[in-house]
Chain A
Amino acid sequence: MSFSVSNRGDVCIVEVEGQLIVGNRQELKQKILDELEKGTRKVLVDFARTGYIDSSGLGVLVSLAKKMREMGGDLRLANLNDDLQTLFELTKLDTLFQISETRERALENF
């Protein structure tokens, strides 16, 4: 598992490679909190290269989304495969996040 961070305009893009689970969720959280500290208010998490996500991973995304909204920002998601989409639908988190099919589509109206 690894995370890569890049910027497109004022949007910080975090790509999750591998699993987002209990053993590494804090690393993702810290990376995004560091970006918030630097003043970033728009974060896009790209799951194109993600395997699976467990409840801890989902919980971190919820926690970060709440924090970002409190700070006047937004956290959005892109590139969920069918299995990840199902996971978000099962937990109704698809109603909480703005989810785009592709990174480009997410960036178009961010």
Chain B
Amino acid sequence: MSEKTLTKEKFKEFMKIKGWPFLKNILINHNYVVSLILLLIIGRIASSNFLTFANITNLVKSSTFIGIIALGMTLVIISGNIDLSVGSILGLTAANTAIMFNNTHSIILSLLYAIVVGTLLGFINGFFIGKAKVASFIVTLATMAAFRSLTVQQGQGGPILINQEAYYSILRGLGYGTFLNIPYLVWIFVTIVILMILLMTKTKFGRYVYAVGSNEKAAKLSGINVDRIKIYIYSLTGLLTGIASFLYVARFGSVDTATAGKSFELDAIAAVAIGGTSMAGGKGFIQGTFFGIIVLYSIDSVLSALRVPAFVNDLIKGILILGAVLLQKVLNNRKANN
């Protein structure tokens, strides 16, 4: 009996010192975790197939393409900007990567090519935003249209097909293969997530991104070359989109120039918002975006498990995005008042 009360007290003590602050921190700064857990519980109740190993890896796998892009979008939004062109960058880069692969039949060269093209397209955004100081919304709205147009021109309105023989013998394995029962795509995605977390928390560049987004003037007066940081951010987003484009080609084996990557930017922005990154800049986490994209993708499977007609999926998504951001606002206000 006395032993029982002792452990109870110990538990209380522990909660007081470590537990509550920890939970509070999660609730306030990482509340996307709450939405994820809620969704997963609903899904689990609705269907016993939900939350199985295969189901989870599937979820992560299907979110890889937009997920990798959303990581770049996180930096863009933390720095107080926006990038509407990522979908078009993916289209243009994927189309060119497919052509490169047809010509070389080489994984390495295609990947490098995708990275170079993506980075270059991102750099174009960054140049106009950083150096010419045009609002990011306008620049990327323009390049969104321009890059898409170039892509469609390249495919003459139709798809760019990949040499099927070469695709099946060389590239397809990457898009469908597994290691330790986990798809390559998931390994790649998670590796990039970890690298990006390190970049944002452990390097000077990460600090500068936060500083620029939080107070550009102060960042400049601390000696940060703000224009250059913006160019780096957009180039990096282009680079990540390049990687996503390469994986896209590996997975789907052809690129429909009119639709490849279309409205990816919206899902990417939604993931960033659900993940708790402030649209005003200065605050946000890579891991938030990672959970954000998974929340976004698990909606589909939860809804189908609940036998909700697929037509209302986007309605639910919309409500969820709004709800997540409202929740953050309420919690942040409470924090400010304390």
A and B form one complex: no
Give A residues with C-beta under 8 Å from B.
Answer: none
Give B residues with C-beta under 8 Å from A.
Answer: none
